[in-house]
Amino acid sequence: MRPIYDRSSTNSNPSPSRPSIELDERSRGTGAGNGREPTCTSTRSANHVSTSGHSRGMGVLDEPFPGSWARAAGLVTRWELQHNFVRLFPDVYLRKGCTLDAGGRARAAAHWAKGTGVLIGHSAAAMHGTRWLDPDQPAEIARAEHYKPPSGIRAVITCIDPSECCDVDGFRVTTPVRTAFDLGRRLPRDQAVPTLDALCAATGFDPLKVADLAREHPGLRGVARLPAILPLIDGGAESPQESRTRLLLIDDGLPRPTTQLVIRDGCGGFVARVDMGWEPWRVAVEYDGAHHWTDPTQRTKDIDRIATLESLGWRVIRVNATLLHRRPHVVLDRVRAALHANGWTNDHEVLVQATVESRPAPVPSHPGQLSENRHRGGATSRYRNSHCPNSGVGTVSGQGRGGSLTDRAQ
């Protein structure tokens, strides 16, 4: 059940009109006077479960919705709308007690625009399922004409090509490639890389296609930043802190680590999947969140896991928030010591080769490189297998990806 907007002219700015009403089979007959509770349930996360009791529309209105539409559908009365719901934007409401995340804020902005805009930037990323976005960031929407937005919405005046837009849950948003293009040219590098890693993990977009788009829009602000950012994208990162740890290592001149290395024993049995590491030198780097230190069960598993890895000749460097942000030199010293102990050299040719092997998808600096590199960043698995003689380790596979994430964890 959702309101339907006339988007025959998505980038125009007509006066907002009342959305039409669409009732799915689960919610037909739930209007005023029938004495029935709606049977449909929200598909949102647990944070969006209603806590307001026996109001009509239970489950249907647990995410932002247009008040005029809900009243016309008979889901709420004027009194209920004023007392049981929070007004987010003009004619856009959310049930009291429900949490508003980045995706919910994006939907609320789209309802405010009544189908006349395109969700962009962080809002588009949220609609594509990107994790770890700041829920307090203003929603972002592009419209063709000026229309003063309310507080909490950032509206830009621009026309986005229809080929760079798509529908997500009935809302018009920029494609993952266009979203990555916009975020990459607007955000500082240290914010852009973790955000684009998460967007890549959610959508599997190809950084090469973002580079193509940059060549199609050479005059847009911030495009010059993209060549330095796109080669760093890796959808294998499973948290912003993992992305920042990887950047720390790369910025110090170390070879680019492969993310999500799967380590197996001599018989091919699964041993562990580590956050990042270098298979040639059997060095792994693990970022441990708070639960790795506070949860006794997880702590015991980690002790056993590291003991097994060390018995196979691997050296594991553990990183937490304090080390990453306050003592990064300690992390770098430990990583370099482990690499040197296992045979790593500062030889330039070895460094370049190791970095090339772990890089998900090189970004061409000019159009001539595109065809020769296209096959490296597509929608296939980035797993690779090798055998380490005399190491006690059988197959080691990894995925450092800037493309598809269809083979996330084998």
What tens digit of pLDDT does each residue of 258-267 get? 999 999 888 8
Taking the C-alpha atoms of residue 1 and residue 57, their distance in angstroms, rounded to an integer, is 11
- For residue 92, the SS3 value is strand
With cut-offs at 50, 70 and 90, classify the pLDDT of residue 275: very high
pLDDT (0 to 100) of residue 20: 52
Whether 227 and 268 map to the same domain: the answer is no
Q: Does any domain span residue 46? A: no
CA 368 to chain centre: 30
Residue that is last in its domain, among 183, 216, 232 = 232
CATH of residue 288's domain is 3.40.960.10
Residue that is last in its domain, among 184, 211, 232 = 232
CA nearest to 31, candidates 66, 69, 79, 87: 69
The answer to whether 94 and 88 have CB atoms below 8 angstroms apart is yes
At residue 340, φ and ψ (nearest 5 deg) are: -65, -40
Whether 244 and 386 map to the same domain: the answer is yes
Residue that is last in its domain, among 185, 205, 232 = 232
The answer to whether 66 and 92 have CB atoms below 8 angstroms apart is yes
Q: Does any domain span residue 355? A: yes
Whether 209 and 301 map to the same domain: the answer is no
CA 26 to chain centre: 31
Whether 247 and 196 map to the same domain: the answer is no
Structure tokens, 65? 């919705």
What's the total number of domains in the chain? 2
Which residues in 184-269 belong to E strands, given as ranges? 258-265
Whether 200 and 301 map to the same domain: the answer is no
CA-CA-CA-CA torsion sign (81, 135, 288, 324) = negative
Whether 178 and 265 map to the same domain: the answer is no
Structure tokens, 149? 């937005």
Q: Does any domain span residue 148? A: yes
- For residue 320, the SS3 value is coil
pLDDT (0 to 100) of residue 397: 52
Whether 247 and 226 map to the same domain: the answer is no
Tens-digit pLDDT profile for residues 75-132: 999 999 999 999 999 999 999 999 999 999 999 999 999 989 999 999 999 999 999 9
Whether 119 and 228 map to the same domain: the answer is yes
∠326-332-335 over CA atoms, to 5°? 135
Mean pLDDT of 361-390: 38
- The boundaries of the domain holding residue 246 are 240-363+377-397
Dmax over CA atoms of the chain, in Å, equals 79
Whether 351 and 383 map to the same domain: the answer is yes
pLDDT (0 to 100) of residue 299: 87
Whether 248 and 381 map to the same domain: the answer is yes
Q: Does any domain span residue 246? A: yes
Taking the C-alpha atoms of residue 255 and residue 258, their distance in angstroms, rounded to an integer, is 9
Q: Does any domain span residue 291? A: yes
Distances (CA, A) of 36 to 29, 80, 131, 235, 321: 8, 17, 37, 46, 51
Q: Assess whether pLDDT exceeds 50 at residue 307.
A: yes
Whether 202 and 327 map to the same domain: the answer is no
Structure tokens, 366? 């000019």
Taking the C-alpha atoms of residue 254 and residue 352, their distance in angstroms, rounded to an integer, is 10
Q: Does any domain span residue 144? A: yes
Whether 381 and 280 map to the same domain: the answer is yes
Half-sphere exposure of 318 (CA within 13 A, CB side): 12
Q: Does any domain span residue 84? A: no
Q: Does any domain span residue 320? A: yes
Mean pLDDT of 246-255: 97
Q: Assess whether pLDDT exceeds 60 at residue 23.
A: no
